[in-house]
Amino acid sequence: MTDFHVMAGTDKSLSLPEVRKIQASDIIDALGRGLDDFWQKPSHYAFLCLIYPLVGVVLIYWASDADALPLLFPLASGFALLGPFAAIGLYEISRRREAGLDTSWRHALAVRKSPAIPSIMAVGAMLFAIFVTWLLVAQGLYVRLLGPEPPASIAGFFESVFTTDAGFTLLLIGNAIGFIFALVVLITTSIAFPMLLDRDCGAVAAIITSARAASANPLPIALWGLLVVGALVVGSLPLFAGLAVVMPILGHATWHLYRKLVAD
């Protein structure tokens, strides 16, 4: 029965909550509330998210080897696909603050004891599978357009990507495919994880509700997606260090977006 609970929730039925319609102003308000949550104890939240710039630096170092250079951009951009799962602790902090509970950073780590953790892990596994698939597709596209031989140097890699017809095709098709992957993640998990923390409804119910919320609010969710991408790009520019601020703000804002989209 554990598997069924993971899929459908504690009452063994697929219970779908009411989804509200929101406006663009609600997206801005959710971001403002996320920023307010962050400013309450920024040192705690930055500490929790230091993994993002650290991982970014590791990715750059690892990909500095010419053999791995073709995967540098897919890794850096694809890492954002895992962001909704990695921000679980931040959703919990915002949930506790909204409820008037203690918001010490240790509660962000206590989510591992949540009764919804099997469902959370199931959706997280789905995100990881999407991430790996993206890497395989990106690598296959590179090999098809630029050949199986690794670039001789970093300069040679950038020259082949930015100064050749095959390189321009790679950028065009690669970004289009990456957009599709990002869109799938946005639709299926934009509010799935905070919903699971809040009501342990089961993985399928959380994913379906997230998709229903996106379907009912296409323009606001599209705006949310654009703001997330823009914030991640800005946060990634200084060697990913800005993600230590950007990621917690987006994580907190995601909780408030969930609260606006899903009825109690």
User: What is the model's pLDDT at position 67?
Assistant: 65
Where do we find the tokens 């790009």? 233
Low-confidence ranges of the chain (pLDDT < 70): 1-5, 7-13, 43-67, 238-239
CA-to-CA dists, residue 242 to 3, 52, 94, 229, angstroms: 39, 9, 21, 13
- pLDDT value of position 195: 95
pLDDT reported for residue 1 = 44
C-beta separation of 223 from 27 below 8 A: yes
H-helix or E-strand spanning residue 260: helix 243-261
CB count, 10 Å around CB of 133? 13
Instruction: Report CA torsion sign: 189, 99, 247, 220.
Output: positive
CB 66 within 8 A of CB 151: yes
- Residues counted in the chain: 264
Amino acid 49: pLDDT? 65
DSSP annotation string for 196-219:
HHHH---HHHHHHHHHHHHHH-HH
Which residues face 262 on adjacent strands?
Answer: 19
pLDDT tens digit sequence for 83-131: 888 888 889 999 999 998 888 877 777 788 888 888 999 999 999 999 9
Tokens of 66: 């010419």
Task: Determine the residue type at 173.
Answer: I
At 83 the pLDDT is: 82
Residue 263: helix, strand or coil by DSSP?
coil
- pLDDT for position 7: 66
Residue 116: how many CB atoms within 10 A of its CB?
26
Position 157 scores a pLDDT of 83
Q: What percent of the chain has pLDDT over 90?
A: 48
Whole-angstrom Cα distance, residue 69 to residue 43?
Answer: 34
